[in-house]
Structures are given as structure tokens and as C-alpha cells.
Chain A
């Protein structure tokens, strides 16, 4: 069953659509043809590997790399899954605030596939590393670019999911960031107050 599914190459459509047509990607996720929940987690896994290799390539190369690519990869992968799940949950919450129907499972799949462009950071940064032409600058530049591309995929997917305009989709997408930003802001204030209290005593 799985082998037949793999041979049919239908799974490749999900990756293809995430790059070319995010709205078609969501439609594919919605139809569940092929089933994409488990498959979507291969994307954060690949992104974690690419991130570690790219940073090791640009940074100081020590034998610690072997630990980074093994244990470090597992840690980063788990962290990314956690981030995806929290973000998806918050996006789902934001959708419901707009009176849309919530579906956290589809959000998780969508956010996972939206990360796909980030795997290109390695070949892009590698070229500049090989020619030693401002590799760190171009790494940052491409990283930002790919991040925006990822956001664009997710926003288009959300827009298709709720049959709504891009404006509302952007708000839903940015809701987790805003919420986490506010939480961090208050935590910093709280820590500041605690710190002042501690020093005053």
C-alpha cells in the first residue's frame, strides 16, 4: 500500500504545490489525497538538517558537528514540531475568533509544508561559501527571503482554507507571533519588576 503510494509519486504534488501553488496545496490537503499528515513532518525534519549543516558550514568547524548532526538534529526537530503545533493551535484559535471553522490538523499540515522553501538555504548559502563571497551576508539575506516565502505559502493556504481575503489570512497567520510577542513583553516586564524587587531588598 505504502510502496504503491510512493511509486505513484502523488506525494510529490504536495511539495510541488507548496512551491508553485499554495492554494492548490491546501486543496490537496483538504481532499486527503494522498494522506499528508505524517508526510508533512518530513519537512521540519529536513529543515532541521539543512539548518544545522548550513550553520556548521558557515561557522567554526569542530568535531562537535557530529553531535550537532545527530543529537542536535533530534533536538531541533522536536523544537520545530513544538513550534509548529503551538503556532497551528494559535492560528486555529484566531480563525475561530473570526468565526471560521477551526481545523488544527489542517493547520499543522499547512504550516509544515509552508516551511519547505527553507530547505533551499543550504545550496544557496553553499554557493557563496565556496566562492567565499560574503557568505554570512547572503545567508542572512536568503534566510529572510525564504522566511517571507514560507509566510506567503501559509497565508495563501489560510486564505484558501477559509475562503477569505489575504488581509484576514495575514492576521490569522500573524496572530501567534503577536500573542507570543505580547507574552514575552509581559514576561520581561514581570522579570524586571522581580529583579528590581530583589535588588531593592
Chain B
């Protein structure tokens, strides 16, 4: 009788233990599903973000050396992008990199720094795939050309291969207002591109030389990046500053494929011989961060249309840029 009672009690305890195990499993599934829903990926379950995968680097807004840093912002500015690429390079789990570009271009030196960094990664045989967002023109295309493969949306604005330097001439306004400038300079060109006077033919020639040199470098680097598709002779006829849609760019072999960001990620997995569901390591960690980015207009690529006031301070100075300026 006592033995039977013990047996029954033991079975009850085993049932309790089974219920505990079941509760744990249900709780783990619940937590996983909540995380998936937060990511906006429906209710499908995936494993943890570990193991070999694809890294994402984002180039958003005008390219310049230093970005605007805030707790909300993603890696910004050429230095930030290079830092992100360094992180990905040092991470053994990263087998391919998708460079998401949403930029109208920017300053020559900053663009070249990103290009060279990407080129170094390319030489290390890390598959690089450029994915164009709304716009990847001029310097935006320059950096894309350093990648092994370029994916553009049908309506992405790209091309604009060229160099531009813009400086306002306010002489007429100054004359009208009776404003004169006292300029004491050490050399004849020290106040080149000053806004209060006309540019001289010599000065124009000097600037043109810089523009031409930067342009030649642009075309040469694009040709180097696209050597597997076409040479400098193929690039030059369309390197007149014209912008084009993704579709036209495909015709001119400036891009390799029309597709979305997802397609670019899939292509990266394919090039790195990864599984179809290999993890993606993005800079944006949480939906809150994404929301904050959108608040700043950084992810919508609107920075060049609606620039940050802190950037405007710099915009007032002249500079030579690989940039599409509508």
C-alpha cells in the first residue's frame, strides 16, 4: 500500500517536471516570437544571429570626412563608414559585405577614402556588393564602383560621373549694397573663389585643372572597379555628368543587376557561398534605432535636400565635390 502511494507520488512529480520543461519550451518560443514580431518579420522563427553571415555598411547622405554624431545616428561620415568596414573586416563571421548607398556623393577626399578602403577589402577577396537606394550618384556611384557587384533599384538615381565646384558670385549684390571687402593676402590666388568679386581667367584655369585631375581619377577608378565589365573607353562616353535611372545604368553596364536590398543580400550570400538563411549583421540593431534614424531623415536620404544646420555651416564654403547637385 505504502509502495503504491510512493509510486503514484513519483509519477506525479515526473508529471510536474514534464510540465516545467514544457513551460520553459513555451516561454522560449514565446520570447523568440516576440523578438521576430518586433523585427517585423512575421511569426517565423529563426535562430540566433550567430555564425558566418553578411555584414551591412551604410553610406547615407552627403559624403564628407566627418559625420554628425549623435546618440541616434548610424555610422556617419567617411571616417565612420571606414570604421564600420574595419569592424566587419575584423569579424571572422563576416563572409561578404553589402554596402547600402543612399548618397548624392560628396567631397573628393572623403569619397576616395571610402573607395580605397573598399578596394582593399576587395583585394582581400571579401565579396562586396553595392546596393543602391534612392540615389547613388556621383561620389555615391564612385564608391559603388569599388564593389564586385552593383545592384540598383529600377528607379535609383545614379551616374553623374563628374566633378563640380560651386561658388556664388555676390559682387552685384555687394555693389548694390555698397559693401566692399578689405582683403590682405600673401599671394594672388589666396582668395580664390571669393564671393565678392568675379573669378579671373587664371583662377578659373587653376580650378579647372583640379577639377580635371579629380575627374580623370574618378573615371580611372570607376574603370578599375568595373574592369570585369568594361574599360575606360566604355565609361568615358557617359562620364559627362549625366544622371540616369537604374535601368539606364544597367544598359550602360554601370550596374550589374536591377533589384532590391534583399536581392543584394541574397547575391552576397550566393557569392560568399553561404546558406540562404545566413544571418545579416546590420548597423541598425533595434527598431527603435531605425525609428530614430528616420526621425533624423538620415535613412530616407533626404539630408542633401534638407541638410542638417550643422552641415550648412560647412556648405557655405566652396569645395570641390563628386556630387550630384540638382
A143 to chain B, nearest CB (A): 16
User: Is A65 touching B31 in the complex (CB atoms < 8 A)?
Assistant: yes
In the docked arrangement, what's the CA distance between A122 and B19, Å? Answer: 11
Report B's interface with A, CB cutoff 8 A.
6-7, 9-11, 13-14, 17, 19-20, 23-24, 27-28, 30-32, 34-35, 38, 47-50, 286
Question: A12-B14, A16-B13 in contact; A63/B35 too (CB < 8 A)?
Answer: yes
**Known A61-B35, A66-B50; contact A12-B13, beta-carbon cutoff 8 A:** yes
Chain A interface secondary structure, helix, strand, loop or mixed?
A: helix
Q: Which 8 A-B pairs have the closest CB atoms?
A: A66-B48, A12-B10, A9-B10, A61-B34, A12-B13, A16-B13, A123-B23, A53-B27
Contact with B along A52-66 (1 / 0, CB 8 A): 011011000111011
Task: Report chain A residues within 8 Å CB of B50.
Answer: 66
Chain B residues whose C-beta falls within 8 Å of the C-beta of A62 in the assembled complex? 35, 286
Interface centre among B11, B23, B32 (most CB of A within 10 A): B23
Q: Is there a chain B Cβ closer than 8 Å to A15's Cβ?
A: yes
Interchain CB contact under 8 A, A49 and B10: no
Number of interface residues of A (CB under 8 A): 25
Q: Report how far A67 CA is from B47 CA in the complex, Å.
A: 11
A122: contacting residue among B7, B9, B23, B38, CB under 8 A? B23
CB-defined contacts of B14 to chain A, threshold 8 Å: 9, 12
Most buried by B among A12, A16, A119: A12
Contact of B13 among A15, A46, A66 (CB under 8 A): A15
- Name 8 A/B residue pairs within 8 A (Cβ), A-sorted: A9-B7, A12-B13, A15-B13, A19-B13, A50-B24, A63-B48, A123-B19, A123-B23
In the complex, the answer to whether A57 meets B27 with C-beta atoms within 8 Å is yes
> Contact between A56 and B31 (Cβ–Cβ < 8 Å)?
yes
> A63 contacts B27, CB within 8 Å?
no
